[in-house]
């Protein structure tokens, strides 16, 4: 952890519960109390029905690769040892899509619709990143 030199997310007032959840190994998302839909990133109103009544809710942490790219070029010096690495859009079983990395599998073994689950990667005392790894068949 002491060698972590990549950019570190800065929680906002709106996203703080998301980061608090990750620190406790829970992938939390806003869930609408009126239409039951989940969304991400957090916002004050449900993007589906505009309700202001919603609750931070733990998700399953499971989903599938909706899309992905493999980076072969170094765009930030802290990622020099990482290439090639995959950045994926993961669609959670609950519906929201989020950007993350898929770990534990070579990038050339990835495919769309591959089932994945969240893997928690603490990088500081305050910040834990949600990564994804393939679900064993
Ligand atoms: Zn709603």
As a whole number of angstroms, the distance between CA 56 and CA 39 comes to 10
The chain-wide mean pLDDT, for the chain, equals: 95
- For the beta carbon of residue 137, count every other beta carbon within 10 angstroms: 4
Domain-embedded: residue 4: no
pLDDT reported for residue 73: 96
Q: Is residue 10 part of a domain?
A: no
Gap from CA of 96 to ligand 1 centroid (Å)? 13
**Residue 1 belongs to some domain of the structure:** no
Neighbouring-strand partners of residue 114: none
In angstroms, what is the span from residue 52 Cα to ligand 1's centroid?
A: 8
Give the tens place of pLDDT for each residue, 50-72.
Answer: 999 999 999 999 999 999 999 99
Please report whether residue 72 resides in a domain: yes
Q: Which of 17, 101, 88 is nearest to 59 (CA)?
A: 17
Q: How confident is the model at residue 129 (pLDDT cuts 50, 70, 90)?
A: very high
Say if 5 falls within a structural domain.
Answer: no
CA of 86 to the centre of ligand 1 (A): 32
Q: In this structure, is residue 11 part of a structural domain?
A: no
Structurally, the chain folds into a number of domains equal to 1
**Mean pLDDT value of segment 80-105:** 95
pTM more than 0.95? no
List, as ranges, residues with CB under 5 A of the ion ligand 1: 32, 34-35, 46, 48-49, 51
Domain with 20 in it: 16-134
């Amino acid at each position: 952890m002491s060698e972590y030199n990549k950019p570190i997310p800065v929680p906002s007032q709106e996203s703080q519960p998301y980061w608090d959840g990750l620190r406790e190994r829970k992938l939390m998302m806003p869930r609408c109390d009126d239409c039951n839909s989940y969304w991400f990133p957090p916002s004050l109103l449900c993007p589906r029905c505009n309700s202001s009544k919603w609750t931070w809710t733990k998700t399953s942490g499971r989903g599938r690769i909706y899309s992905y790219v493999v980076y072969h070029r170094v765009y930030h010096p802290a990622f020099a040892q990482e290439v090639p690495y995959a950045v994926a859009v993961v669609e959670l079983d609950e519906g929201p899509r989020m950007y993350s990395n898929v770990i534990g599998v070579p990038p050339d073994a990835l495919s769309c619709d591959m089932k994945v689950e969240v893997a928690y990667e603490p990088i500081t005392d305050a910040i834990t990143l949600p990564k994804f790894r393939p679900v064993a068949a």
